[in-house]
Structure 1
Amino acid sequence: NDRYWVGPLSNISFSFISVVFMFGSFIIYNKKCQTNKLSNIPEAKWIVAMAVYYILVTLVAIDPALHRTYLASYLKLLLIMYIAFRVIDTRQKLEYALLVYILGSAYIGYEAFSAGRNDVGRIGNIGTVDAPGENSIAASMIPAIPLLLYFIWLKPLKIKLILAVLAVFIINGMILINSRGAMIGAGAGTCYFFFYMIFSRFKLPKQRLMVIVLSSLMVITVIRFADDLFLDRMDSIESEAEVDENADGEGRMNFWLKTFDMLEDHPLGMGIWGYQLVSPQYLSTTQLNAAKSEGLSLRAVHSMWFQGLSELGWIGFSFFILLLISMYRRMKLTIKDALNKKDLEVYYLIIALQASMLCFMGAGSFIDAFRLEVFYWLILFIICACNLSLNNSPSDIKNSLTIKRKR
């Protein structure tokens, strides 16, 4: 309702209608969507374990009613991701999904350009339902950058030009939003992708030349749109990341470390919003006064890692770590398989997806991003890419990979 274009729209649930059509289409074409099955992916058991544990945490949550409200949204997200997993059953469909995600990120960049900065030098009211703040929407946008580099590199000229325009909107939007954590994530993911393009033994024709072209265009774009406000905010990254030696420090890492104190009293997890609700009991007076000066009575942990740990406790968070380990192993197997088949496009697609995940995790390390939708989209994209590639493997390769996993 905060959007300028809401006036002429009917007051109906567009999201609900979209999902109903999606479910209906899936039921009709279910028999044709047999390539991706949960039984084929080792990550499924850890995702299900996390979901079950989130449900069990209701019994020990600080605020069970509030936990159930957010839990319902989380379970709906997983259900929709399952349908998407079943539907994205070809490499072409996966590329369509990635390109539409890039388009959505560019649209957010356009909204940032249209709205402009407010009186405190930030941009508000351009985020999505699950990421309404400037930092969270920036974290949702930046994983598109390595994917943009991948597609601009490998797609035909007409597609390159369209994607180049989208890249300008995304980069300009990132500069306008002024999120320090997002810029850290973007830098880490971009460098990771370029590192493989430069130093990998497996290269496509004129690959290093393309690195020079892409990196030069990115630098030129940043220089063109960067202003003094953006540069000043980026200069403050180092001071923000420092840990105060004073016990009453306000640095983010002080909030992170308090999670361990909380878990001594709540080892099974505190549920969604648990950290915020108990923060007055564990944080210092200085930290709480800093929150009050911002018009807040509670403090968030400001890190997806410690957010997940505080919500799920040691047991539930271990399922998340095992999910990441399982994904990493599958990506290694997919890379090995792609190189055996000399399919360098798949090889670099996996590298681009790894870089995108690194972008998100870099930004998410400084905000509460554990349940942001784009994080689960990235998990979905990685699982689909690996599953589709390995399903096309010769039987002897698949058997050897299965034996290796069993050992």
Structure 2
Amino acid sequence: MKYTERCQDDKTRKHGRIESLKAHDLNDKRIIFLFFYFSFLVCIVNSIRISAIFIFVLYQAYYFFNPATKWWGTHIPDIRFSFYIVLTLLIICAYKWSSLKENKIHKVPQFWFLYIMVLLYALVTPSAVFPDRQIMALDYLVTVAILVTVVYKLVRTERELDYILWGYMVFAGYLGYYVSQFGRTSSGRFQGAGMVDSPDANGVAAAIAPALVLCLYYFWVNPKFLNRVILTILGAFMANALVQLGSRGAFLGVAVSVSGFLYYLYFSKMRKKNQRMSVVFLTIFGLIGAVSVTDSAFWQRMTTMLTQSQNMEQTTTETGATRFKFWAGAWDMAKDHPFGKGSSAFIFYSPVYVPESVATGASRNRAVHSTWFEALTEIGYLGLLMLIGVVYYSLITSRRAAKRLKEQNKLPQYYKVIAIQCAFLGFIVTMTFLNRLRGEMLYWCILYCSIAYNLFYLKAEAAEKNADMENVQPKQGVTKASISTRRSIEAAKK
């Protein structure tokens, strides 16, 4: 009798735990459901009340949400939200085109390199080794080129730039929170739940990494306590997610971007009172945070960047990471196919150009693991030059904007541009070790640099020219009048 009662009690407790888990799961689903639609509602309302640029903020939100890869995605309608968001932005831009003429596309050199790069992708389509993948890649690049152009046209003020930067940080922070919920799930790192263009752990880390230095900038420049608390929470979620994701390329990118920004803050001649002391405190605070979120598994993985391992990174002939062998193979492939062979071309040709002595894991068909060599193998030497041009002029134009702000002694805006530059530099380091040619974050960084160049350099230059014209024209009028008067007097005397 006692045994029967005990079994019954165990069943009751087990049933109670199951019901409790179901209730907790249901509550989580309700919260995520409400957050998803609340984000949509807030962005749409603000796009009507404040600025149409909130439609792009909504695009950023949906990019990081990507319900198809989340456990709560079954509760979201299967609708192509991103397509309709881009279409809405395009319609708004077309409707407001006459009032957006001040944002001149032809004055931003990186856009021209971007458009040529997309054109090269279209031209290589007939010879692509994977026709279906090539069509999808071309469709994406055309879409992102249109998106970047439209958003550039719509951003007319610094506040609107802040909106999209905050949108990026908030929703990257959400993804960091999501990753932190699960921790390491496979092979000592988090896998799955990525974005459309970044389904794996490395792609997710590459998308999150640039946001950290932007969080650092807004934390430093914003004196409001509540904002600093929010930024600290967002930064903590993102840093913890990067640890769980274990991407070595993203780790290098964060190290470069954050240390570069702190270097500017400390050594720049343009600084506010007690700035160097604040940099010291930020560095100490950051190191304490890094020690808190990292563990031995993370550091063990980071120390294998340039060392051999027993699986994919070992060669039988020499030391060094396998990706260097992939890069050499990509260079050899470009000699035989100088115009490229379309999307994922190196995956197709890697068994030919990577020596058999290189251990590549279960398959000989491998990605090249570098955006630069990805461009080289897919759209050839000219395509690689276009990518270099896009990156180079994005950095040059943002540097011009920072120089102009420094001359005007606009300290917050100056360091905002520096933060954007550092975020892009960090991403450049990251994408050197990852295939990110079709990654959204590359083009968002280009967009941020272009907007900064337009707001703080092109518009300032145009305003100065207009002021000079206003000052010169009256003088010219007086001069012409005096000359005509003098000539009439001389004629009367004769």
In the superposition, the TM-score normalised over structure 1's length comes to 0.91
Structure 1 residue 338 corresponds to structure 2 residue 397? no
Of 205, 210, 220, the residue aligned with 2:278 is 210
1:358 & 1:240 partners in 2: Cα distance? Answer: 27
Of 121, 127, 133, the residue aligned with 2:200 is 133
The answer (yes or no) to whether the contact 1:302–1:366 under 8 Å persists in 2 is yes
State the match for 1:371 in structure 2.
438
Matches within 5 A, 1:26-65: 26-65=93-132
State the match for 1:267 in structure 2.
338
State the match for 1:291 in structure 2.
361
The farther-off stretch of 325-334 and 115-124 is 325-334
The answer (yes or no) to whether the contact 1:301–1:368 under 8 Å persists in 2 is yes
State the match for 2:382 in structure 1.
315
Of 135, 152, 158, the residue aligned with 1:85 is 152
1:380 & 1:165 partners in 2: Cα distance? Answer: 26
1:395 & 1:8 partners in 2: Cα distance? Answer: 50
The farther-off stretch of 264-273 and 10-19 is 10-19
Give the fraction of aligned pairs with identical amino acids, expressed as a percent: 29
Q: Which amino acid aligns with 1:341?
A: Q
The answer (yes or no) to whether the contact 2:327–2:368 under 8 Å persists in 1 is yes
Judged with a 3 Å threshold, the aligned counterparts in structure 2 of structure 1 residues 172 and 286 are, in CA distance, closer, same or farther, namely same
Structure 1 residue 281 corresponds to structure 2 residue 352? yes
The answer (yes or no) to whether the contact 1:243–1:254 under 8 Å persists in 2 is no
CA deviation map 1:307-364 (0-9, x unaligned): 1111121112112222233223322322221122111222212211111011111111
Q: Which amino acid aligns with 2:361?
A: A
State the match for 1:253 in structure 2.
324
Judged with a 3 Å threshold, the aligned counterparts in structure 2 of structure 1 residues 317 and 339 are, in CA distance, closer, same or farther, namely same
The farther-off stretch of 203-212 and 185-194 is 203-212
CA deviation map 1:122-157 (0-9, x unaligned): 111221111111011101111111111111111132
State the match for 1:404 in structure 2.
none
State the match for 1:173 in structure 2.
241
Matches within 5 A, 1:11-22: 11-22=78-89
1:249 & 1:211 partners in 2: Cα distance? Answer: 36
Q: CA deviation at 1:196?
A: 0.8
Q: CA deviation at 1:383?
A: 0.4
Structure 1 residue 155 corresponds to structure 2 residue 222? yes
Judged with a 3 Å threshold, the aligned counterparts in structure 2 of structure 1 residues 44 and 11 are, in CA distance, closer, same or farther, namely closer
State the match for 1:73 in structure 2.
140
Q: Which amino acid aligns with 1:290?
A: T
State the match for 1:8 in structure 2.
75
Q: CA deviation at 1:228?
A: 1.9
Q: CA deviation at 1:247?
A: 6.4
2:403 & 2:187 partners in 1: Cα distance? Answer: 49
Q: CA deviation at 1:280?
A: 1.5
Find the residue that maps to 1:317 and give its secondary structure.
Answer: helix
The farther-off stretch of 378-387 and 16-25 is 16-25
State the match for 2:263 in structure 1.
195
Find the residue that maps to 2:206 and give its secondary structure.
Answer: helix
State the match for 1:99 in structure 2.
166
State the match for 1:403 in structure 2.
none
CA deviation map 1:199-222 (0-9, x unaligned): 111112221122122222211111
1:389 & 1:302 partners in 2: Cα distance? Answer: 36
State the match for 2:490 in structure 1.
none
1:339 & 1:277 partners in 2: Cα distance? Answer: 49
State the match for 2:460 in structure 1.
393
> What is the CA RMSD across the aligned residues, in angstroms?
2.2
1:329 & 1:119 partners in 2: Cα distance? Answer: 41
In the superposition, the TM-score normalised over structure 2's length comes to 0.75
Q: CA deviation at 1:398?
A: 6.3
1:7 & 1:204 partners in 2: Cα distance? Answer: 51
Of 426, 430, 433, the residue aligned with 1:359 is 426
1:247 & 1:274 partners in 2: Cα distance? Answer: 26
1:66 & 1:20 partners in 2: Cα distance? Answer: 23
Q: Which amino acid aligns with 1:42?
A: P
Find the residue that maps to 1:290 and give its secondary structure.
Answer: coil
1:54 & 1:351 partners in 2: Cα distance? Answer: 32
The farther-off stretch of 251-260 and 60-69 is 60-69
The farther-off stretch of 66-75 and 165-174 is 66-75
Judged with a 3 Å threshold, the aligned counterparts in structure 2 of structure 1 residues 33 and 278 are, in CA distance, closer, same or farther, namely same
Bigger CA radius of gyration: 2
Greater relative CO, 1 or 2 (CA 8 Å, sep 6+)? 1
2:316 & 2:214 partners in 1: Cα distance? Answer: 40
2:393 & 2:314 partners in 1: Cα distance? Answer: 32
Find the residue that maps to 2:73 and give its secondary structure.
Answer: coil
Q: CA deviation at 1:30?
A: 3.3
Q: CA deviation at 1:96?
A: 0.7
State the match for 2:450 in structure 1.
383
Q: Which amino acid aligns with 1:271?
A: G
Q: CA deviation at 1:394?
A: 5.0
Where structure 2 has 5 or more consecutive residues not aligned to the other structure, the ranges are 1-67, 467-494
The answer (yes or no) to whether the contact 1:184–1:362 under 8 Å persists in 2 is yes
The answer (yes or no) to whether the contact 1:145–1:186 under 8 Å persists in 2 is yes
2:208 & 2:266 partners in 1: Cα distance? Answer: 25
Q: CA deviation at 1:178?
A: 1.1
2:283 & 2:378 partners in 1: Cα distance? Answer: 39
Where structure 1 has 5 or more consecutive residues not aligned to the other structure, the ranges are 400-407
